[in-house]
Amino acid sequence: MNILVCLKQILDPDIPARDFRIDPERREAVRGSADLVTNIFCENALETALQLKDAHDGMITVLSHGSEEAEDVLRKALAMKADEAALVLDDDAAQADPLQAARVLAAAARKLGSFDVIMVGRESGDWGVGQTGGLLAEELGVPFIALVEHLDVDEGKLRIRRQTDTGTEIFEVTPPVVISITNSENNLPRIPKTRDVMKSYRKPLTTIAVADLSLTPSSDSYFRLVEISVPEKETRCELVEGHNLEQRIDAFAHRVAEIANTTR
Amino acid sequence: MNDILICLWSANGFDRATQGVIGAGRRLADTTGGQLHAVLIGAEDNTLVEATSLRADHVLVADRPELHEAQPELYLAVLTGICRSLQPRAVLLGSDVYSQELTPRLAHRLEGSSMADGAELTVAEGGALRVRRTAYGGRANAVYELGRQPAVVWLRARGFAPAEPIQDHHGTVTHLDIELPETITARIAERYIEARDGVPLEDAALVVSGGRGLGGPEPFEELRQLAAAIGAEVGASRVACDEGWVPASWQVGQTGKKIAPELYLAIGISGAAQHLLGIADAKVIAVINSDPDAPIFKHAAFGLVEDYRKVLPALTAKLAELATR
Ligand SMILES: Cc1cc2nc3c(=O)[nH]c(=O)nc-3n(C[C@H](O)[C@H](O)[C@H](O)COP(=O)(O)OP(=O)(O)OC[C@H]3O[C@@H](n4cnc5c(N)ncnc54)[C@H](O)[C@@H]3O)c2cc1C
């Protein structure tokens, strides 16, 4: 299997709420001292790919569309044992809408080789729009499966398990296919060994200038952000009182029961 | 064209999400001054056809044996065909996995725009659809304008008010004659539904939820007993699901279930923005957490700062005693 995993670099989504600000001019989160990290679902995707390779052999290429800083994301992926890495260098990558991103990724994928499975994260931890995977599939003219948690190969066909609202489904797929990966208990990203982190800096990394992909600029934008604000909605929490734990549990139980008894 | 198309799966019947999509579609069509078309894919369900025709202008029934169980590749072909002939201004879908998966693909085929998880729809001057949703894991509210037509949006369906039947109205019902692609290279071959007693998490009036603070799968059994004492369902944070303590379908939050219970009791959950996003519509949030500085207290109506292990059995017993029959 020849696998391509798309990795997006984002602002650390775990910054504490009290440090979160929006820049009204730029209409995006203020970076401040927050780190840039690999989007977690992209890491889940890489882990899923590594497991597929461990079980069935294969080649994993990782691809990112980003600024120079996105090299970190690719080095980390190489340390996790991806085989090859490519960066589409684009200083405007962070402003790209999902269709532009999908076009860039599709053109880069064509340039890099022919892939059986192309993986993306289900959505990014910043804007969380989650449209890139489906658009990428359409750009490449192949099927798309969302919310995948596991893949297997059976006589040249893929068996792809995905989450539904009530359980799971298994797809039988003749490659190629684009899939979006969601988190599951089976794809928590592995921690690279220190030795592999060191080695990752000596591995080659292909850089493609976005201009070299010869994309025709689209005349209109896919969508436009017209408003962004941070809601103020903290409430005052009443901590139940009592002289001892038993009394506090009792008071808590009464508050719960009051609501529970009206819903019956 | 000012018409709106809503896409419904017959297998879901007239459930809350379906009602939300119909309500959103009805109000949007009334705003644009267009007609509301509803396509129902799957084995024809008379109750759903009837209920939809009382609220929509046109009901299109797409019933073929191949469509009785969901096959995204076939659904996409059906929807693309309908949209090409109707040329709607907007196409609305629900929040299930098929809707999420089809939205960008359909938009691409129609050269439109798409958006996920819409919480409110408005129409800008000039006619473009605007979609309100959250960003940055629930830390911000964003409004997007979708310039290209059609605007294809999957909705946070249960958050939209249902529509009342229109007085003295019965929409037309048409059975579509559809052609399906002969071969597809991605096909759902097996389906597994998790056994779960009680009502779905999204429909529960009371939810008791556990997180990393529980420390393992066993305490979820205690949570289940507590839930049983008040007739609640059990949910979880992502950490509890990722650890494998409970199934992934129990996850509440940005990438899990978005729920709107009367009471959400969070035990051993810190209240990360992404988790809070799933309970933004909960009426009352109550907390048991050993850390008084856990962010979730800032969103709770009442709480107990304590190690859950010292609270649970006694609380369950007390609740069983207080329950009215
Ligand atoms: C893109 C993205 C999407 C995400 N989507 C989701 C989502 O859908 N749902 C979700 O839940 N998370 C989601 N997350 C993860 C989220 O950011 C948090 O990591 C997660 O919610 C934390 O889970 P938790 O509260 O169980 O664990 P923690 O944050 O570790 O909190 C555990 C809490 O338990 C308390 N505790 C510990 N021991 C005890 C005890 N003995 N008694 C009582 N209390 C105790 C602690 O004080 C602490 O407050 C997402 C993250 C990203 C980046």
Question: A262–B262: do the CB atoms touch at under 8 Å?
Answer: yes
Q: Quick one: pLDDT at residue A18?
A: 82
| Distance (Å, whole) CA B176 – CA B82 | 9
- CB of B54 within 8 Å of a chain A CB? The answer is no
Has residue B325 got a pLDDT over 70?
Answer: no
Contacts of B67 (CB under 8 A, 6+ apart): B41, B42, B43, B74, B75, B78, B180
Q: Is B250 in the pocket of ligand 1 (CB under 6 A)?
A: no
Q: Kindly state the tokens that stand for A125.
A: 């931890």
Q: Kindly state the tokens that stand for A211.
A: 């201009």
- Tell me the pLDDT band of B198, cut-offs 50, 70 and 90: confident
Q: In chain B, what is the greatest distance between 2 CA atoms, to the nearest angstrom?
A: 64
Computed over every residue of chain B, the mean pLDDT equals 96
Residues 153-212 of A with CB under 8 A from B: 159-160, 162-174, 177, 182-185, 188
Q: Do residues B142 and B2 make contact, with C-beta atoms less than 8 angstroms apart? A: no
| Distance (Å, whole) CA B89 – CA B81 | 15
Nearest chain B residue to A170 by CA: give it: B190
Helix (H) or strand (E) segment spanning residue B209: strand B206-210
* CA distance to partner chain B, nearest, from residue A100 (Å): 12
Has residue A41 got a pLDDT over 80?
Answer: yes
* CA distance to partner chain A, nearest, from residue B168 (Å): 34
Residue B81, burial from CB neighbour count under 10 angstroms (0-12, 13-18, 19+): middle
Query: How would CATH label the architecture of A2-213?
Result: 3-Layer(aba) Sandwich (3.40)
pLDDT digits (tens, 9 = 90+) for B73-130: 999 999 999 999 999 999 999 999 999 999 999 999 999 999 999 999 999 999 999 9
Q: Is B255 in the pocket of ligand 1 (CB under 6 A)?
A: yes
Q: Which residues of A touch B292 (CB under 8 A)?
A: 239
Question: B299–A234: do the CB atoms touch at under 8 Å?
Answer: yes
Nearest Cα to B235, choosing from B188, B273, B200? B200
What's B312's DSSP letter?
A: H
Q: Is B98 in the pocket of ligand 1 (CB under 6 A)?
A: no
pTM summary value: 0.94
| Distance (Å, whole) CA B52 – CA B46 | 10
What's B34's DSSP letter?
A: -
pLDDT digits (tens, 9 = 90+) for B208-218: 999 999 999 99
CB pairs under 8 A between A and B: 278
| Distance (Å, whole) CA B283 – CA B94 | 23
Q: Is residue B116 classed as helix, strand or coil in its secondary structure?
A: strand
Q: Do residues A28 and A227 make contact, with C-beta atoms less than 8 angstroms apart? A: no
User: Which of B246, B274, B315 has most ligand 1 atoms within 8 Å of CB, for mutation?
Assistant: B274
Q: Which residues of A touch B148 (CB under 8 A)?
A: 220, 222
Q: Which residues of B touch A99 (CB under 8 A)?
A: 108
Dist. CA B251 → ligand 1 center (Å):
11
Measured distance between the N- and C-terminal CA atoms of chain B, rounded to whole angstroms: 55
Domains belonging to chain B, first-starting first, are: 4-175 (3.40.50.620), 201-323 (3.40.50.1220)
| Distance (Å, whole) CA B287 – CA B270 | 9
- Residue B150 CA from chain centroid, whole number: 22
pLDDT digits (tens, 9 = 90+) for B146-187: 999 999 999 999 999 999 999 999 999 999 999 999 999 999
Q: Which residues of B touch A244 (CB under 8 A)?
A: none
pLDDT digits (tens, 9 = 90+) for A78-104: 999 999 999 999 999 999 999 999 999
Q: Which residues of B touch A188 (CB under 8 A)?
A: 242
Q: Is B274 in the pocket of ligand 1 (CB under 6 A)?
A: yes
Quote the ipTM score. Answer: 0.95
Q: Is residue B90 classed as helix, strand or coil in its secondary structure?
A: strand
Q: Do residues B252 and B279 make contact, with C-beta atoms less than 8 angstroms apart? A: yes
Nearest Cα to B129, choosing from B110, B111, B144, B142? B144
What is the DSSP track for B247-304? -GGGBBSTTSB----SEEEEES----HHHHGGGTT-SEEEEEES-TT-GGGGG-SEEE
| Distance (Å, whole) CA B114 – CA B40 | 21
Sheet with A157-163: strands ordered across: A206-209, A84-89, A59-66, A2-6, A117-121, A177-181, A144-154, A157-163, A167-173, B186-193
Question: A256–B147: do the CB atoms touch at under 8 Å?
Answer: no
| Distance (Å, whole) CA B103 – CA B230 | 39
Bond prior to B165 in cis (omega within 30° of 0): no
C-alpha distance from residue A62 to each of A11, A72, A87, B80 (Å): 20, 12, 8, 32
Has residue A66 got a pLDDT over 60?
Answer: yes
| Distance (Å, whole) CA B89 – CA B5 | 8
Nearest Cα to B291, choosing from B266, B263, B317? B266
HEC string of chain A equals CEEEEECCEEECCCCCHHHCCEECCCCEECCCCCCEEECHHHHHHHHHHHHHHHHHCCEEEEEEEECHHHHHHHHHHHHCCCCEEEEEECCCHHHCCHHHHHHHHHHHHHHHCCCCEEEEECCCCCCCCCCHHHHHHHHHCCCEEEEEEEEEEECCEEEEEEECCCEEEEEEECCCEEEEECCCCCCCCCCCCHHHHHHHCCCCCEEEEHHHHCCCCCCCCCCEEEEEECCCCCCCCEECCCCCHHHHHHHHHHHHHHHHHHHC
Question: B185–A122: do the CB atoms touch at under 8 Å?
Answer: no
Q: Is A13 in the pocket of ligand 1 (CB under 6 A)?
A: yes
- CB of B300 within 8 Å of a chain A CB? The answer is yes
pLDDT digits (tens, 9 = 90+) for B248-305: 999 999 999 999 999 999 999 999 999 999 999 999 999 999 999 999 999 999 999 9
Dist. CA A7 → ligand 1 center (Å):
24
Strand partners, B265: B208, B286
Strand partners, A158: A153, A173
Has residue A16 got a pLDDT over 90?
Answer: no
Q: Considering chain A, what percentage of its residues have pLDDT values greater than 90?
A: 89
Tally Cβ neighbours within 10 Å of residue B278.
25
Residue type, B9: W
Q: Quick one: pLDDT at residue A264?
A: 72
- Tell me the pLDDT band of A190, cut-offs 50, 70 and 90: very high
- Tell me the pLDDT band of B195, cut-offs 50, 70 and 90: confident
Residue B197, burial from CB neighbour count under 10 angstroms (0-12, 13-18, 19+): exposed
Q: Is residue B305 classed as helix, strand or coil in its secondary structure?
A: strand
Q: Which residues of B touch A100 (CB under 8 A)?
A: none
Interface test with B, best of A15, A27, A256, A261 (most B CBs within 10 A): A256
Nearest Cα to B270, choosing from B230, B299, B234, B302? B299
Tally Cβ neighbours within 10 Å of residue B191.
13
Nearest Cα to B179, choosing from B274, B80, B261? B80
Dist. CA A189 → ligand 1 center (Å):
17
Let me know the angle formed at the C-alpha of B256 by B22 and A240, rounded to the nearest 5 degrees.
105
pLDDT digits (tens, 9 = 90+) for B2-14: 999 999 999 999 9
